[in-house]
Amino acid sequence: MEYGTDHKFLEKLKQKDVLACKQLYLQYADAMYNVCLRILQHQAEAEDALQEAFIKVFNNIQQYRNESSIGSWIKQIVTNTCLNVLKKRKITFDELKDDVSESESVSENESENGNDYSIKDIKKVIEELPQGYRVVFNLYMFEDYSHKQIADMLEISESTAKTQLFKAKRKLKELLLAKKR
Amino acid sequence: MDNIEKHIKQHRKEFDVDFPNKNKLWDNIEQNIGTTKKVIPLWRNRWVQFAAAASIAGIITVFMLKTQPQQHTNTICSIDGVSKDFCMQVNDYESNIQQKLSTINTNEVSIPKEVENEVTLDSPMKVVLLNELKKNPDNPKIKDAILKYYKAKLELIQRIEEVLKKQDKTINNETDNSTVI
């Protein structure tokens, strides 16, 4: 069920009907918790951020215009809330170095087979990535944001967002290979 | 898209984890968003209606059994022939009811007069049931009727407790809102 198109349900949310609010929360809580956990890598911080985000969702539901799905709208609020927490941690994003090119990444990619690694191993090495790499990697790979959207959210250039992703993938492969040996 | 990226996308769901504190977090969120609940007048509540009907039925029964001598309410456990299990079940109900009533009283909330007689442990209906039990201490139908009597009483008290809590919460919300204005 896509709530964004359900006018009656939306009206109830705007009236802060407790059952409607809870229904919406239960529909998205699991997915949004995972968004927070991937960004913050800390259970208690993820829960705090999720709580803050859902309070924002319900207190600003009047601003939801039904232009996108309500799920996307909620995810945007949740992601921004988590990124604000990260900004307080003062993460840094390395600029693209001249010696790194996209073609280099392609040749590396072709030599690797993703199926060689278990989900558990990949999860583990994602956690080991430097924070800047990890955030961009997660936003791109798991939350399906574009480089442009990631750049806007993190207030960095699009090329920096691309570099971070490239470096994250390269680091991820290095760590996976090290694990394999 | 490289192989690891493909691998991750194919197994996307496996990267998600369960959200253990989902319900607890909702309680926190609910407290912060000022949700609204429909307040049903007490007299429209089906438990109150049930209580009123039970009360009328009780009075009629008492009048019908008027010929029998009125006996003072006694504890069920003191009746000869009553099994230990049944006695324990009754004791559990009685202590539960007493506990709930004292909680309501300590919260300085008064039980509506319309249902006051229905929530107290002793009532004309109980006298009738006890008399029947004394005559037939092993009769399962009488035992079942006694347990249903306690169950209905307990459910009624729980329902009243909920209604009182809702009323209290609504008053608090209204107070909060007027403070903001």
**pLDDT confidence of A136, banded at 50, 70, 90?**
very high
Residues of B within 8 A of A114 (CB-CB) are 2-8
**Quick check: B78 contacting A, CB < 8 Å?**
no
Query: Is residue B122 assigned to a domain?
Result: yes
Give the model's pLDDT for residue B69: 47
CB B61 within 8 A of CB B125: yes
Query: Is residue A94 assigned to a domain?
Result: no
Query: Is residue B164 assigned to a domain?
Result: yes
Least confident of A109-118, A128-137, B151-160, B166-175: A109-118
**How far apart (Å, rounded) are the C-alpha atoms in residues B157 and B51?**
10
**Quick check: A18 contacting B, CB < 8 Å?**
yes
Helices (H) and strands (E) in chain A, counts: 9, 0
A76 and A113 housed in the same domain:
no
More confident residue, A108 or A34: A34
Query: Is residue B28 assigned to a domain?
Result: no
Q: Determine the structural domain holding residue A149 and report its residue range.
A: 102-180
A115 and A154 housed in the same domain:
yes
Query: Is residue A58 assigned to a domain?
Result: yes
pLDDT digits (tens, 9 = 90+) for A41-51: 999 999 999 99
DSSP type of residue B38: P
**B19/A29 touch (CB, cutoff 8 Å), yes or no:** yes
CB B164 within 8 A of CB B109: yes
Strand, helix or coil for residue A33: helix
Query: Is residue A138 assigned to a domain?
Result: yes
Q: Number of structural domains, chain A?
A: 2
Residues of A within 8 A of B8 (CB-CB) are 114, 122, 141-142
Q: Which own/partner pairs from A172-179 qualify as long-range (CB within 8 Å, at least 24 positions apart)?
A: A172/A122, A172/A125, A172/A126, A172/A129, A172/A137, A172/B4, A173/A108, A173/A112, A173/B4, A175/A125, A175/A128, A175/A129, A176/A117, A176/A121, A176/A122, A176/A125, A176/B4, A179/A117, A179/A121, A179/A124, A179/A125
A73 and A122 housed in the same domain:
no
Q: How far is the alpha carbon of A131 from chain B, nearest alpha carbon, in Å? A: 18
More confident residue, B72 or B150: B150
Query: Is residue B30 assigned to a domain?
Result: no
Q: What percent of chain B has pLDDT over 90?
A: 10
Beta-carbon contacts of B142 under 8 Å, excluding residues fewer than 6 positions away, are B129, B132, B133, B136
Q: Which of A53, A88, A123 is the last residue of a domain?
A: A88
User: CATH code at A121?
Assistant: 1.10.10.10
pLDDT digits (tens, 9 = 90+) for B146-179: 888 888 888 888 888 887 777 777 666 665 555 4
A35 and A70 housed in the same domain:
yes
Q: Does residue B90 surpass a pLDDT of 60?
A: yes
A74 and A110 housed in the same domain:
no
Query: Is residue A75 assigned to a domain?
Result: yes
A71 and A109 housed in the same domain:
no
Query: Is residue B15 assigned to a domain?
Result: no
DSSP string spanning B91-160?
HHHHHHHHHHHHHHHHTT-PPPHHHHHHHSS--HHHHHHHHHHHH-TT-HHHHHHHHHHHHHHHHHHHHH
Q: Determine the structural domain holding residue B72 and report its residue range.
A: 42-175
Query: Is residue B105 assigned to a domain?
Result: yes
Amino acid identity of residue A173, one-letter, is K
Query: Is residue A116 assigned to a domain?
Result: yes
- Output b/e per residue, A98-116; b: 16+ Cβ within 10 A: eeeeeeebeeebeebebee
User: CATH code at A82?
Assistant: 1.10.1740.10
Amino acid identity of residue B145, one-letter, is A
Nearest CA in chain A to B21: A47
Q: Which of A62, A88, A114 is the last residue of a domain?
A: A88
Residues of B within 8 A of A108 (CB-CB) are 2
Q: Number of structural domains, chain B?
A: 1
Query: Is residue A23 assigned to a domain?
Result: yes
Residues of A within 8 A of B7 (CB-CB) are 114-115, 117, 122
Angle between helices A18-40 and A43-59 (to 10 degrees): 140
pLDDT digits (tens, 9 = 90+) for A143-176: 999 999 999 999 899 999 999 999 999 999 999 8
Query: Is residue A40 assigned to a domain?
Result: yes
Give the model's pLDDT for residue B2: 77
